Amino acid sequence: MKLEISVIIPVYNEEESIEPLFAALYPVLKSLGRSFEIIFVNDGSRDRSFAMLYDLHKAHAEVRVVDLNGNFGQHMAIMAGFEQARGDKVITLDADLQNPPESIPDILAKMDEGHDVVGSYRMGRQDPLFRKVVSGMANRLTNRMARLDIRDYGCMLRGYDRRIVDIINASCETTTFIPALGRKFAVNSVEIPVPHRAREKGVSKYGIAQLIRLNFDLMTSFTLAPLQMVTVSGMVISVLSFVLVCYIMLRRLIVGPEVEGVFTLMGIQFLLTGITLMSLGITGEYVGRIYREVSRRPRFVVKKTYDHE
Ligand code: UDP
Ligand code: MG
């Protein structure tokens, strides 16, 4: 019989959340009256998470566990889950209960209507104000540059049709951002609002450094616009400088030698140095990405999968 639904949950040091998550998730899935599997991907947790997942696997025929050989990050963990998923519809979810499992039937209802990717955005997002403001700006910037229309990049409660999952599995980038990848290939996507709760147990795995890293990866993965901006700003500055040089040469001939505005010159010089360094950094991000791709190391390594039958 064909399996209908796969739910994929990446888990990294979530020992406090696993029990309440499962207690909320399992009845929701049972009540659907459809065949399902839950795939927990253990992303190199160093706490009791794996032991707890293993117990769930032993106790429930629907639970599978993919144990990764280290910490490869949330998106690679989901990728590992995608490769294992057998369901016709695949749903991703965070382990920390910030997206309530009760919203899963809403996602499925939209998928039943024929939408191949069903995204979600957090209503009344319960995160620190600073994070909300920064992520709002990052959402808008990324959408513009990558030509996407994802309302909330941080919301992982999403549904993907089998066809989309197969396409995502076939794209073998070393770093990626799954919701954006799904959206790129979707032909009929939709987004629904979901309630959002504060993280009750454990701590967020994303500090400011990881969030910056994630956004650079998102950028280099989906758009060349920053490189074009570098080129265009270089061209504009060159043209302006050329006009300025002509003007200074003329003044030199007409007015004679002048030494004035040294500080203005320093100011301009600092600005140009800043632009140069930033451009170098942007170029470097893309070069770094190429470096990672050509090194051809596996994106993630599965230590063992725990299946039934
Ligand atoms: N996660 C993971 N690997 C990591 C970091 C996070 O599998 O390296 C999982 C984590 O266990 C959770 C989800 O990804 O299920 C989202 O993480 P978190 O809640 O810390 O992110 P936030 O909600 O703060 O953006
Ligand atoms: Mg979270």
Best residue among 8, 9, 12 to mutate for probing ligand 1's pocket (most ligand atoms within 8 Å of CB) is: 12
pLDDT of residue 174: 85
Calculate how far, in angstroms, residue 94's C-alpha sits from the geometric centre of ligand 2. 6
- Structure token pair of residue 64: 């599978």
Distance (Å, whole) CA 182 – CA 88? 15
Q: Is 62 in the pocket of ligand 1 (CB under 6 A)?
A: no
pLDDT of residue 144: 92
Each residue's pLDDT, cut to its tens digit, for the chain (309 residues) gives 789 999 999 999 999 999 999 999 999 999 999 999 999 999 999 999 999 999 999 999 999 999 999 999 999 999 999 999 999 999 999 999 888 899 999 999 999 999 999 999 988 877 788 888 888 888 898 899 889 999 998 889 999 999 999 999 998 888 889 999 999 999 999 999 998 887 878 888 888 888 888 888 889 999 999 999 999 999 999 999 999 989 988 988 998 888 777 888 888 899 999 999 999 999 999 999 999 999 989 999 999 999 997
Calculate how far, in angstroms, residue 200's C-alpha sits from the geometric centre of ligand 2. 10
Calculate how far, in angstroms, residue 158's C-alpha sits from the geometric centre of ligand 1. 15
pLDDT of residue 240: 93
Q: Is 99 in the pocket of ligand 1 (CB under 6 A)?
A: no
Only one residue has tokens 């707890």, namely 52
Closest approach atom of ligand 1 to CA 10: 7
Terminal CA-to-CA distance of the chain, rounded, Å?
14
Is 25:102 a contact under the CB 8 Å cutoff? no
Instruction: At 81, give phi and psi (nearest 5°).
Output: -65, -40
Q: Is 10 in the pocket of ligand 1 (CB under 6 A)?
A: yes
Q: Is 96 in the pocket of ligand 1 (CB under 6 A)?
A: yes
Which residue, among 244, 265, 247, has the nearest Cα to 255 in the 3D structure?
Answer: 247
Q: What are 191-233's pLDDT values in tens digits?
A: 999 988 878 788 888 888 888 888 888 899 999 999 999 999 9
Q: Is 179 in the pocket of ligand 1 (CB under 6 A)?
A: no
Instruction: At 6, give phi and psi (nearest 5°).
Output: -115, 130
pLDDT of residue 185: 95
Calculate how far, in angstroms, residue 236's C-alpha sits from the geometric centre of ligand 2. 43
pLDDT of residue 267: 84
Closest approach atom of ligand 1 to CA 41: 7
Is 289:175 a contact under the CB 8 Å cutoff? yes
Closest approach atom of ligand 1 to CA 93: 15
